[in-house]
Chain A
Amino acid sequence: DADVTQTPRNRITKTGKRIMLECSQTKGHDRMYWYRQDPGLGLRLIYYSFDVKDINKGEISDGYSVSRQAQAKFSLSLESAIPNQTALYFCATRDVLGYTFGSGTRLTVV
């Protein structure tokens, strides 16, 4: 099993719909992150969490929310999806040695 697992791998949704992207990890790390990747823009930080009770906004948090249900689970929600949220989303964990990324969720909002 992968250290960081994201579900679903691909999703197409309609404008205005609520959608949740899920992330789970088996590394036992406290720190978890959500990034989005857009062509030509690299990866940008949406939210990050130091532990279950500590959630922080990243540079592009508008239109997103997160939930840290347990140390191992960190979900990203789009309350009302819009087309410019079409992107590749990555979850990551971190320890002192560095970051581990999931395989990504490709989200298309039509």
Chain B
Amino acid sequence: AQSVTQLDSQVPVFEEAPVELRCNYSSSVSVYLFWYVQYPNQGLQLLLKYLSGSTLVESINGFEAEFNKSQTSFHLRKPSVHISDTAEYFCAVSGVGNEKLTFGTGTRLTIIP
């Protein structure tokens, strides 16, 4: 069995401030980890993913996440947010060899001008 916990349902942040969205997972097997973003009234878009190799992964729009196996975490960070980052962010886990992608409950990021 696998599960994902996103403890923060809403995170308000001032524009140009740094942000961290927390994600913890549990799984009995090795995992693949994902962050998806959902902009208002749109579908899900893959933001970044960890499959193997370097534990620090980056997206094209300045987000990064680090896989920490000992803490079973995959927190998402950005050093300076913009209004356009306003969205809901979902962390997801898939066990290696497991077909199911399990999502967290999401974190709504609100940028304050």
Contact = CB atoms under 8 A, between A and B. Distances in A.
Interface of A: 31, 33, 35, 40-45, 48, 50, 56, 58, 90, 92, 94, 97-104
Interface string B90-113: 101000000111111110000000
Given A33-B101, A40-B9, A48-B99, A98 B34 contact: yes
B42 interface: yes
Contacts, number: 51
A42 B100 contact: no
A45 to B, nearest CB: 6
- Pairs A-B, 3 closest by C-beta atoms: A103-B43, A42-B103, A101-B44
19 contacts: A31-B99, A40-B105, A41-B105, A42-B6, A42-B90, A42-B104, A43-B44, A43-B103, A48-B100, A58-B100, A92-B101, A94-B99, A94-B101, A97-B51, A98-B49, A101-B36, A101-B43, A103-B43, A104-B44
B76 to A, nearest CB: 15
B96 to A, nearest CB: 11
Interface residues of B, number: 23
A102 B106 CA distance: 18
A87 to B, nearest CB: 14
A44 B102 CA distance: 7
Nearest to B90: A42
Contacts of B34: 98-99
Interface of B: 4, 6, 9, 32, 34, 36, 42-46, 49, 51, 90, 92, 99-106
Contacts of B99: 31, 48, 50, 56, 94
A3 B42 CA distance: 15
A45 B101 contact: yes
Given A40-B105, A44-B103, A101-B36, 11 more contacts: A42-B4, A42-B6, A42-B104, A43-B92, A48-B100, A98-B32, A98-B51, A101-B44, A101-B45, A103-B43, A104-B44
